[in-house]
Amino acid sequence: MGESVKHLVNVFSSPTISFLTLFAIFFFIFPPTEWFAAINRRLGIYKLWTGKGGVFIFTVMITGHCLSLTDPNYRAIVLKPDNVPIVLLLFSTVFFLWLSMKQAYANDARLAQGLKPNEYEVPEKRKVLVWPDLVYTELIVMVLCMVGLLVWSIVLQAPLEEPADPSLTPNPSKAPWYFLALQEMLVYFDPWLAGVAFPTVIIVGLMAIPYIDTDRSTSGYFSFQNRKLFISLFLFGWLVLWVYMVIVGTFFRGPGWNFFGPFERWDPHKVAALNNVNLSEIIYVIALKQTLPDNVLVREIWGILLTSFYFMGIPPLLAKFRLKGFFERMGSMKYSWFMFLSLMALSLPIKMILRWSINLKYMIATPWFNI
């Protein structure tokens, strides 16, 4: 019984399945539009964001974690001193997510009844005394942080490894945990894109948020209903494209950057086939049964057209038909930025799905850069 459950988990956690599942259910949990929200309500998913829901979430997580600890392979990877912060991150991320969603849904309910949100206070009371309230609490937090660091340093020894040897690359070679999502992107994208372009876009995108989402009507309190789209898209980027990838990179990537389930032994000799092809090969060699054209431009024209359409064709089309109201509300500048960032973010899951479904290596493959 235990073994078959473990096997099931191993299979399920492979990125192909887990990512697609996550991708499929994500927007029902965090509905960006009213259509999703209706289904969310019908299924009662919103009940997660209540006290009982929290108990449920954490019971499932903690029980699963504790049961899994009986497995030596799981133990080896989760209790590795390097990985302790990531386990903490996992739990704290869920906790804060739950906390904020709970407050947002509570406020939504109050607003629906015409009440003020929970955070609302009369203006003269919206002050906190520096001394003693602020300074005192900061002192307490400082002391507790020290306690935490001391205990951590006593209990877990520094995870030092062998001296660096230029002639010997450790297998697997992993980036620090906070970069593991970027490293995971390297599986799907050209290093130039995954290592340079994406990080830049992420930083620029985060900086751009206040300029794109200028609606101040809900500032100062938690609310989901009033800004579903933005919250949903942001959480998609944060939870799926970042935290999920960090988890995959940390726990599921083993020797040879092969994928290993949480209960699987990290066998350095595991064999996995990587038969990836470029879009041009799919079109010319597989579909048309021809040889590849010598001219790079001719060869890659399909990829170029598709990519251009993705970034330059989709936004105007949507503005014209599907998101007409949205476009008018945002204005062309903000709309373009919004679309650019969203499409950039979406390109990762799209590329992943294409990789798994049709073994797509690159849309455009040239000797100089690949997309």
Partner 1 sequence: MAKHEIPDSEQRHYHPESLNKIFAISSALFLFSIIWMFWKDYAREWRPYQREFRKMEADLTRSSLSEEEQRVQATAEFQEVESALESAVAKERAHAARLSAAQDERDNRQKEYQRRVQLYNFEKADLDTAIYTFEAASVHGQGNADAAREKMDALAAQAALLKVDMEAADTALAAQEEVVSDITARTRELQRAQSKLTRQGDLLRRQLKKLDPGMMKPINQIANVVRDLPILDMANPYYNVRDYQIIVNGITDDLGLERVPKVDRCIACHQGILKKEYAGAKAPFTAHPNLDLFLSDGSPHPVKEFGCTSCHGGRGRGTAFVSAAHMPDSKEQKEHWEHDHHWHKMHHVQYPMYPAKYTEAGCYRCHSAQTSIKSADTLNLGLALIEKAGCYACHAIDTFKDKPRPGPSLRHAASKLDADWAFRWINNPKAFRAHTWMPSYFGQSNNAHLQERTDQEIKAMVAYLFDKSEPYEVATAPAGDAAKGEELVRSVGCLGCHTLGDEAPDPVRTVLSLRREHGPQLVGLKNKTTADWVYSWLKDPKSYHAGTRMPDLRLSDQEAADIAAYLVEGPHGDNETFEGMPVATLDEAVLKDITLGFLARTMTQAQAGEKFGVMSVDDQLVFSGEKLIRKYGCFSCHNIPGLENATPIGTELTEEGSKPISKLDFANLHDKLEHVNFAWFEQKLKDPRSFDEGKLETKHPRDLLMMPNFHLKQREIDALVTVMLALQKKDTALTKGVPRTPKNVFIEEGQKLVRQFNCQACHVMEDEGGAIFPKVGEWYATYAKAAPAEDDGDDEWEVEEEEDEWEEGEEEGEGADPEAAAYNPPILTGEGSKVQPDWLFHFLASPETIRPWLEVRMPTFDLTAEQRNTLVKYFNYLDDQAFPFVAATQIASEGKTFDAAKEMFSDNVFFCQKCHFSGDTAPTGAKDNWAPDLAKARERLKPDWIVEWLRDPQKLLPGTKMPGFWPDGNSSVPRFLEGETDRQMKAIRDYLFTLSGDGEPMAASSN
Tell me whether residue 137 or residue 290 sits nearer to partner 1 (CB atom).
137
Number of residues that bind partner 1 (CB under 8 A): 29
What gap in Å lies between CA 294 and CA 312, rounded to an integer?
27
Return the residue of 163, 210, 325, 367 that touches partner 1, per CB under 8 A.
Answer: 163
Return the residue of 60, 67, 76, 139 that touches partner 1, per CB under 8 A.
Answer: 139
Show the binding pattern over residues 297-326: x = contacts partner 1 (CB under 8 A), - = does not. ------------------------------
The DSSP secondary-structure symbol of 116 reads P
Return the residue of 42, 52, 216, 269 that touches partner 1, per CB under 8 A.
Answer: 269
Tell me whether residue 127 or residue 289 sits nearer to partner 1 (CB atom).
127
What gap in Å lies between CA 359 and CA 72, rounded to an integer?
33
Tell me whether residue 128 or residue 297 sits nearer to partner 1 (CB atom).
128
Tell me whether residue 147 or residue 286 sits nearer to partner 1 (CB atom).
147
Show the binding pattern over residues 170-209: x = contacts partner 1 (CB under 8 A), - = does not. -x--------------------------------------
Q: What are phi and psi of 360, to 5 degrees?
A: -70, 130
What gap in Å lies between CA 21 and CA 148, rounded to an integer?
36
- Positions 99 through 128 that interact with partner 1 (CB under 8 A): 128
**In terms of Cα–Cα distance, which of 162, 154, 198, 166 is closest to 343?**
198
Q: How far is the CB of 171 from partner 1 (least distance, A)?
A: 6
Contact call for residue 138 and partner 1 (CB under 8 A): no
What gap in Å lies between CA 145 and CA 126, rounded to an integer?
28
Asked whether the beta carbons of 348 and 188 are under 8 A apart, the reply is yes
Q: How far is the CB of 84 from partner 1 (least distance, A)?
A: 17
The piece of 165-173, 211-219, 285-293, 359-367 that touches partner 1 (CB under 8 A) is 165-173
**In terms of Cα–Cα distance, which of 23, 303, 341 is closest to 190?**
303
Q: Which positions ≥6 away from 172 have C-beta within 8 Å? A: 253, 254, 255, 256, 257
- Positive/negative CA dihedral, 93, 94, 98, 101: positive
Beta bridge partners of 360: 277
**Residue 169 φ/ψ region, left for φ over 0, alpha for ψ in the -120 to 50 degree band, beta for the rest:** beta
* Residue 26 structure tokens: 């994500």
Return the residue of 1, 158, 168, 272 that touches partner 1, per CB under 8 A.
Answer: 168
What gap in Å lies between CA 199 and CA 23, rounded to an integer?
22
Contact call for residue 150 and partner 1 (CB under 8 A): yes
Contact call for residue 271 and partner 1 (CB under 8 A): no
The piece of 87-95, 112-120, 137-145, 229-237 that touches partner 1 (CB under 8 A) is 137-145
Return the residue of 151, 175, 312, 317 that touches partner 1, per CB under 8 A.
Answer: 151
Asked whether the beta carbons of 248 and 241 are under 8 A apart, the reply is no
Q: Is 93 exposed, middle or buried (0-12, 13-18, 19+ CB in 10 A)?
A: middle
**In terms of Cα–Cα distance, which of 224, 229, 200 is closest to 212?**
229
Return the residue of 44, 166, 325, 367 that touches partner 1, per CB under 8 A.
Answer: 166
Q: How far is the CB of 316 from partner 1 (least distance, A)?
A: 52
Tell me whether residue 150 or residue 203 sits nearer to partner 1 (CB atom).
150
Return the residue of 4, 113, 122, 161 that touches partner 1, per CB under 8 A.
Answer: 161
What gap in Å lies between CA 32 and CA 169, rounded to an integer?
44
Instruction: Report the interface residues with partner 1, using CB under 8 A.
Output: 128-129, 132-133, 136-137, 139-140, 143-144, 146-147, 150-151, 153-154, 160-166, 168, 171, 265, 267-269
